[in-house]
Structure 1
Amino acid sequence: MSEPATANIGVQFKHRGLGYFTNLVGANNYFSAYQDGLEQLPEPTAHWDIVTDFGTVRVYRFGTDGRTPLVLLPGRQAATPLWRANLPTLMALRTVYTIDLLGEPGYSVQQRPITTDAEQASWLDQVLKALELPKVHLLGLSIGGWTAINYGLHYPDRIASMTLLDPAMSFAPVSLKMILVSLGSVFPWLPQSLRHRLLSWMSGGARSSDELPEGRLISLGMSEFTLRLPTPRPFSEQQLRALDVPVLAVIAGRSIIQNPQRALQTANTTLPQGTVEFWPEASHALNGEYPELIARQTAQLIARVDSA
């Protein structure tokens, strides 16, 4: 799979309010890492580039189970290869769709500015409608968790359940530590070794970026791609209380993106149909640390929905 001809490359896209790769070399390095990561995943049964009002969205399908599927939403600066550790266990539950978030690095290509929460939900709804999926089980990590909640607030009737893995900007504000990591990791002059140390700090001491294909992908996304998305706003308690769908929310005890105890308290006191779990030894990279446990807990949530 080659670099998409429509990828946004060059600073001219900044003035149009679109995410972009800084230059062709950086884009080629990123897509090379993407391909390396993709080759370590199970073979997709199909993939699409779906046209929406805000750009073209890359979607992969893994499996052909006819039941309500799982749809995976990755974290910031990530894409489908992020799910290397999770796909084998989640595919055992039912068909899985993975989406490269619009406006982030990946094979999705932003073609119109996204300026509101409603627009963030709209492009995702257009994708699910194009896939003819009337209802889905959403699973989101980090900013993917925020994306899932935001979608559920705008289109609750299309959600069967929601699994949120240490969702960012959802139950607590982003921490100062995370702000420092985000700022430090994107400076183009930053040595790659120091960028790896920042990513390792964010991941609770996980292995250096290049040792894992998804780590290399995120590192290159940070250094080679410029986001032009609005900063997500934390949800109010009133909004979270309106999220009347079955939710499994996992708060990572070693996460640096937020105050885990504050996030835990907010999730426990707001979600009408929420099951909230605190995993004290988990870092923000919990999808790679606990793939079997995530699949097991997600399976229990889906079973409760099916039985109801």
Structure 2
Amino acid sequence: MHTIAPNIGAAFRARGLGHFRDDAAYARYRRAYDRAMARLPAPSATLDVPTGFGTVRAYRFGPAGGVPLLLLPGRTAATPMWEANLAGLAQHRPVYAVDLIGEPGLSVQTRRLTSSEDQAAWLASLIDGLPEPAFHILGLSIGGWSALNLAVHRPGGIRSLVLLEPAATFGPITWKVVVVSLAAVLPLPRAIRQRLLSWIAGGADTSEDDPVAALIDSGMRDFTTALPQPTYPTDEQITGIEAPTLVIIGGRSIIHNPGKAAARARRLLRHGTVELWPEASHAINGEFPERIETTVTTFLTRIEAT
């Protein structure tokens, strides 16, 4: 059971905190969350890690020993979005998966986030609260932005970065993403919301038959976020990153211009490896789980050998 009381009700809106709309919304979300979590490998530990901005729900998978991999999910997705990837990635090293503060999930926000520095601060506090001294960090979409933002503002404890389709990072958000984001703030019919989600996911099934799709749908309907807009990193900030960085961009992504985003990453990252996968969409982790496992494992093994 979740031991930290969730934020429920409109009283949290005035405080600028992410919250579930009401008790019924939280109950719907928990059913979807538990259903989706049941599809993952059993975690070896479940942690609620305190930070200055709230308590972070973290799950540990895989063997003991070695530099762990910390997974940061995309918007409204939470830990279950890694269903296609966890078993493969956790064969090789310890893996932590977390729910982002201020997003739907079992992390509980207690302090308003007002800047990219705040976003980095809670993530750095999480890393300080975990038992290992250093981490490889893998983020998808907004999780990729969060990982790079951490490297810009709080680089301590980062062994390397892996950025899968990072949003608002190497290319500006497109108008298409603005259209999709309306599904999270407007009372749209479910069929339209699912159609928009399928668009950003490269045509993937987003019906409630899929537990992760159902979880994301519930997060969009039942949870209200209160997060600052991601700050687009400057050229100087990206050039200043010291951590070895792997960037994988989908050629069919609608969140940015893929070619231009890949070119900017190649130009600015001093310790970067940048790959453009023409067949991939923004839902790259579910489309190519085996290829991601192989590519990421090869990259991390090379980093650890230096």
Decide which of 183, 207, 210 is 1:209's aligned counterpart.
Answer: 207
The residue aligned with 2:56 is 57
Gaps of at least 5 residues in structure 2 are: none
Q: CA RMSD in A?
A: 1.2
8 Å contact kept, 2:63–2:92:
no
Using the TM superposition, name which of 139-148 and 156-165 deviates more.
156-165
The residue aligned with 1:169 is 168
Give 1:175's aligned amino acid.
T
Residue by residue, what CA displacement relative to the aligned partner does 1:157-186 show, whole Å, maximum 9, x if unpaired?
A: 311111100000100111000001101343
SS of 1:93's partner is: coil
8 Å contact kept, 1:69–1:137:
yes
Give 1:200's aligned amino acid.
S
The residue aligned with 1:100 is 99
* C-alpha distance in structure 1 between counterparts of 2:67 and 2:4, whole Å: 33
8 Å contact kept, 1:136–1:158:
yes
Matches within 5 A, 1:173-184: 173-184=172-183
The residue aligned with 2:260 is 262
Matches within 5 A, 1:211-250: 211-250=209-248
8 Å contact kept, 2:62–2:91:
no
Count matched residues. 306
* C-alpha distance in structure 1 between counterparts of 2:63 and 2:92, whole Å: 11
Decide which of 275, 279, 286 is 1:277's aligned counterpart.
Answer: 275
The residue aligned with 1:157 is 156
* C-alpha distance in structure 2 between counterparts of 1:58 and 1:305, whole Å: 28
Using the TM superposition, name which of 163-172 and 19-28 deviates more.
19-28
Residue by residue, what CA displacement relative to the aligned partner does 1:162-216 show, whole Å, maximum 9, x if unpaired?
A: 110000010011100000110134312x111111111000101001231321111
The residue aligned with 2:129 is 130
The residue aligned with 1:17 is 16
Residue by residue, what CA displacement relative to the aligned partner does 1:6-27 show, whole Å, maximum 9, x if unpaired?
A: 2111111111010111111111
8 Å contact kept, 1:245–1:272:
no
8 Å contact kept, 1:80–1:99:
yes
TM-score normalised to structure 1 length: 0.97
Residue by residue, what CA displacement relative to the aligned partner does 1:90-112 show, whole Å, maximum 9, x if unpaired?
A: 01121100010001010000011
Change (3 A) 1:61 1:68: same
SS of 2:246's partner is: strand
The residue aligned with 2:301 is 303
* C-alpha distance in structure 2 between counterparts of 1:110 and 1:279, whole Å: 36
8 Å contact kept, 2:63–2:91:
no
8 Å contact kept, 2:76–2:220:
yes
* C-alpha distance in structure 1 between counterparts of 2:272 and 2:52, whole Å: 32
Deviation of 1:121 (Å): 1.1
The residue aligned with 1:114 is 113
Give 2:146's aligned amino acid.
T
Using the TM superposition, name which of 4-13 and 280-289 deviates more.
4-13
Using the TM superposition, name which of 245-254 and 118-127 deviates more.
118-127
Deviation of 1:140 (Å): 0.2
TM-score normalised to structure 2 length: 0.97
Deviation of 1:63 (Å): 2.0
Residue by residue, what CA displacement relative to the aligned partner does 1:216-257 show, whole Å, maximum 9, x if unpaired?
A: 111111111111010001111111101121111011111111
Runs of 4+ in 1 over 6 A off after TM superposition: none
Give 1:115's aligned amino acid.
T
Residue by residue, what CA displacement relative to the aligned partner does 1:20-51 show, whole Å, maximum 9, x if unpaired?
A: 11111111111110000111100000011111
